[in-house]
Structure 1
């Protein structure tokens, strides 16, 4: 049965990679970049072989329907461990569960409306016109262990953990963050500037409560550290610098 399914069911190259709708919120793109950029060093440590996949507003096909896109959900962000980022040398157009059999570890939705769509728990038998609620799909069909609902308008994030096949709303820790134990990180809200906008951004922290920085932020930290070192060296005499083998002109 497995071999027959593999031959007859479509893969990511045969399924639509868009339903033709617009992104509803201009913050969604930079928000996705922010959490992707800052989590990559952690994922590279977890997966030194590079076997992981990140999706950003990409379809997860969980059932075969007509039209095909009705059988997919497109989270704003998701992470799948232990799967290759490419297939046959090509970037994935979507993530097809019947070809992978590995569910995402976490999906995150960025709320553009009132949040009802992201919390819709309607099962297939009750969905009007065959529509199924996102919440139900992630909980009962795809069975994603962690589901985050981020609402910038309320400066909050809800995180649900799948326990005994049912989502339970997690409670924040003492830092106001939500631990994602398999990744060794925490998810929470950070108020600050990113890409010239001050907003309550969704961000990662490590298990000790240290903010995970983007590549640009890490470079800025190193630049400031270097400037402090140079300033301290400027207070030394020429003899002291010579004794240390340091040429200040080389550091400028």
Structure 2
């Protein structure tokens, strides 16, 4: 079992007790991923920063892709495709080595959600990783397997109960106030089945581009409504003028 850093009641260690991270590899400068996974990761991260304010009781959040999670300074990290952590703030001096990755003793807690995007059978998502995330006390573990490499469902969602993950019967993450759903459509010109964040009614959280398009359509609709109201007023005025003319022709002065 992995050795964890002991935190104080406040969650964060005092400055003089922070562990040494000089020997840890926080980046290897050799990223290697495929085009579908990269775009899917970006969809999951960009959406929240563009259109989500976080849960009602949270003070900020961090969503990131391909960033190492370090529960201890005595072992290598595990690197999920995407993770979401609530009530955390990235340090202002984030270029300092001790702030570059997600060190549990720095943020004071594990992320609430980790997502793995499966593109082959080498990731061990249902073996080593599910055990590691459970040891880290990550609340929700999500596996998105669009090509069914693992032989199961495309979307597998787990919630931590005690020390192990239990399959979820619904796609709503109660503690995060977000859901996850499969959405068929086009993202950045590529049509596919995507994993999307969604709200309580099942509506997807829009990307920045989708949100801008929604606002444009709402503005056009408002302009159309205003134009229809103006035309209706003009039509009513013209009709009133015709009726007044007919009354005058009959020798009756219309009421103003």
Task: Give the structure-1-normalised TM-score.
Answer: 0.74
Partner deviation per Cα, 1:12-54 (whole Å, 9 max, x = no partner): x76322245433221223222212232234344546743x222
1:94-127 deviation per Cα after TM superposition (whole angstroms, max 9, x unaligned):
111233330110100111203751112xxxxxxx
What corresponds to 2:86 in structure 1? 81
CA distance in structure 2 between the aligned counterparts of 1:17 and 1:94, rounded to whole angstroms? 6
| Contact 2:59–2:87 (CA under 8 A) maintained in structure 1 | no
Question: Which residue is 2:113 aligned to?
Answer: 106
Aligned to 1:9: 19
Residue in 2 aligned with 1:209?
A: 202
Q: Relative to structure 1, is the Cα distance of residues 87 and 6 closer, same or farther in structure 2, using a 3 angstrom cutoff?
A: farther
Shift, 1:151, TM fit: 1.3
Partner residue in 1 for 2:156: 158
> Which entry has the higher C-alpha Rg, 1 or 2?
2
Partner of 1:37: 46
Runs of 4 or more consecutive aligned structure 1 residues displaced over 6 Å after TM superposition:
1-5
How far off is 1:200 after superposition?
0.9
- Alignment-derived partner of residue 131 in structure 2: 136
C-alpha separation in 1, matches of 2:14 and 2:176: 35
Native 8 Å contact 1:192 1:201 kept in 2: yes
Q: How many residues align?
A: 218
Report if aligned partners of 1:6, 1:99 keep a CA contact under 8 Å in 2. Answer: no
TM-score w.r.t. length of structure 2: 0.73
Q: How does 1:210-249 map to 2 (within 5 A)?
A: 210-235=203-228, 237=230, 240=233
The residue aligned with 1:145 is 139
| CA shift in 2, pair 1:179/1:44, >3 Å | closer
Aligned in 2, Cα 1:46/1:56: closer, same or farther, shift over 3 Å?
Answer: farther
Q: Structure 1: 5+ residue runs without aligned partners? A: 121-132, 173-177, 242-252
What is the distance in 1 between the residues matched to 2:54 and 2:200? Answer: 17
Listed as ranges, the gaps of 5+ residues in structure 2 are: 1-5, 8-12, 235-256
CA distance in 1, matches of 2:211, 2:62: 23
Structure 1 CA distance, aligned partners of 2:91 and 2:143? 27
The range that moved more, 85-94 or 105-114, is 85-94
* Matched-pair contact (CA < 8 Å) for 1:152–1:199: no
Instruction: Say which structure, 1 or 2, has more relative contact order (CA 8 Å, 6+ apart).
Output: 2
